[in-house]
Each structure stands twice: as structure tokens, then as C-alpha cells.
Amino acid sequence: MTTINYVEPDGQTITVNVENGISAMEAAVRNNVPGIDGDCGGAAACATCHVYVDPAWIAKTGTASSDMEKSMLEFAEEVQDNSRLACQISITDDLDGLVLKLPEKQH
């Protein structure tokens, strides 16, 4: 099991333990994390799972690299250099303790 910490805009942290091999979006939806909708089901086609990767974790998660993810982030609110679509972050043991900050609102 891998632990993921979702930090809400007000600073409250929701910590979930999930199985490896699913996306950070699936982990949030399965655990009813507010603010992560995943309307497209993880196809990188809606930007309703926009998150900010804590700077300490970017080396492990990587930055948005696919054209599809970059394109969808153009529709997200308040995009930053550490913005990612949670559906494009695959959970592995290397991400145990991952910190993802949620934006004020989703597209």
C-alpha cells in the first residue's frame, strides 16, 4: 500500500492508503477526496483532476510531458509549473508519502 496526502486549499490534509498501479485520480475518487472529480474516467480529457505536485515530489512524479496532458491543463484554473492531471500520475512504491495540493476550483 502507498500513502498519498491530498492537501485541500484550506490546508486540511486527507491521507489515503491505496494499492499500487492505479492513478492518483482513481485513488482520490475511491476515497471520496473532495475536489477531484475525474469526469472523464482518467482519459486525460477533462482536467477535473488538476493537482499541484509538492515541489519535493516532482522528481519522482515528473512534470506534464505528454501533449494530451499539456493540452488539457490549458483548460484548468490557475495552472502552475507543478500542475499535473492526477489521472496521469501512476501510483508506485516510489510515491509513498506523495503530497498533492488541490486547487481552489476545478474546470
Read off the DSSP letter of residue 23.
B
Q: Is residue 44 part of a domain?
A: yes
**Which residue range is the domain that position 12 belongs to?**
2-101
Name 59's Cβ contacts closer than 8 Å, sequence gap at least 6. Answer: none
CATH number of the domain where residue 97 is located: 3.10.20.30
Claim: this prediction has a pTM higher than 0.85 = yes
Q: pLDDT tens digits, the chain, 107 residues: what are they?
A: 999 999 999 999 999 999 999 999 999 999 999 999 888 888 888 899 999 999 999 999 999 988 999 999 998 989 999 999 999 999 999 999 999 999 998 86
Please tell me the total count of domains within the chain: 1
Helices (DSSP H) in 1-107: which residue ranges?
A: 24-30, 58-61, 67-73
